[in-house]
Chain A
């Protein structure tokens, strides 16, 4: 159990490092290809808070330390996002279908953007020369998140065989179900 947590944190650190030092070089909307946000969203929606919050902390801290816009707010935003998505996935969007996962992803992105906007306002209140965090367009990020969710969902289905079509026991015996 502990090793799973360690793996999650290491993956989150690498995701944060990728976002800060690799994805930030991508031109235009290709900047949407980031890993930390999908990782936190997927963990909060499909796994547990015990894994999502450390992942949010780890990736957020790396981004806060390396991004030019570092303010300490990315960590806060990702943890709040993990808590929000986990709460929604257990109360309102409880349907574990691909559509349900897309809906969770969309809500996660909206929460992230709202928090980003609020924190940019807050940072500007403290200092006029604050550098805002640069993001791709909402649509590009939504498409990328949907692609990540689809990938995870297909993997999940393949490993757990949860979504295989049910096979009737009466097939081949001339009976009907």
Chain B
């Protein structure tokens, strides 16, 4: 009987390994490799983030100028508009709730560094250097230092976790308008750093510059975390629901550090 070729054996071996990986049997090996590489990855990702920032600088300057003009126009509009004033009051109230929530709600934050990214026009996810052994669980919210929602944990290892951003096309988060006590709809990722607020009943009042926050109906995502601002509301009188485009306030294209909102019981000292 002829001996099988080495390349055929290698391919069969790798295929078997892949099936074992899918079944979860190689998890301890992966965790052992992570144990070695995550500390190195923290360092190299800092270098990568620095280089990436430098490469984006030119494009950013142009975008920042356009953005500054747009924000300027919106700011002027806000200063003369009583409704805008109310929106600011709501924002203030929401931020107060946000600040109080960390202290009072039985949750606490856990800092994490982004060590790898997968960001394209449809996908937006990062690997962070915290995992199950730090008290992280699937479904927990990731926020910026200012308390703006970045996304939620979608997969988990012992030492690393994957956070899917709110703008990823697979992302769905229950949301409401700041100041409203009940669930208003769902924030769906649209790619390219944009989200859409969907399934909003016609009876829910919604206008440009309203602040969208988490609804708190998801077990591991507390209420009142700021997601973004309403840009445009689309509504047909014949439709039962309306939709709105929402601009996330977290700078999703350059996040290097996030805070995970974890229950105090889960926190690892």
Report A's interface with B, CB cutoff 8 A: 17-18, 20-27, 30, 49, 53, 61-62, 64-73, 75-76, 79-80, 83, 86-87, 126, 128-129, 131-134
Contacts and interface: CB of A to CB of B under 8 A. Distances in A.
- Secondary structure at chain B's binding surface: helix, strand, loop or mixed? helix
3 closest Cβ contacts across the A-B interface? A25-B52, A72-B21, A22-B48
B26 interface: yes
Interface of B: 6-7, 10-11, 14-15, 17-18, 21-22, 26, 30, 33-34, 37-38, 40-41, 44-45, 47-49, 51-53, 55-56, 59, 115-120, 123, 125-127, 154, 160, 162, 164, 168, 170
Contacts of B47: 22
26 contacts: A21-B115, A24-B116, A24-B119, A25-B45, A25-B52, A26-B48, A26-B55, A30-B55, A65-B34, A66-B37, A66-B41, A66-B115, A66-B127, A68-B127, A72-B18, A75-B14, A79-B14, A80-B11, A83-B7, A83-B11, A129-B154, A129-B164, A131-B123, A131-B154, A131-B162, A132-B123
Given A21-B41, A22-B47, 7 more contacts: A20-B116, A21-B48, A61-B33, A65-B30, A65-B160, A66-B34, A75-B17
B191 to A, nearest CB: 12
B37 A72 contact: no
Given A21-B48, A25-B49, A73-B18, A131 B55 contact: no
Nearest to B163: A68
A25 B162 contact: no
A142 to B, nearest CB: 18
Contacts of B17: 72, 75-76
A66 B154 contact: no
A49 B120 contact: no
Contacts, number: 121
A79 to B, nearest CB: 5
A24 B118 contact: yes
B123 A134 contact: yes
A94 B202 CA distance: 68
Nearest to B117: A24
Contacts of B164: 129, 131
Contact of B48 (A23, A61, A65, A79): A23
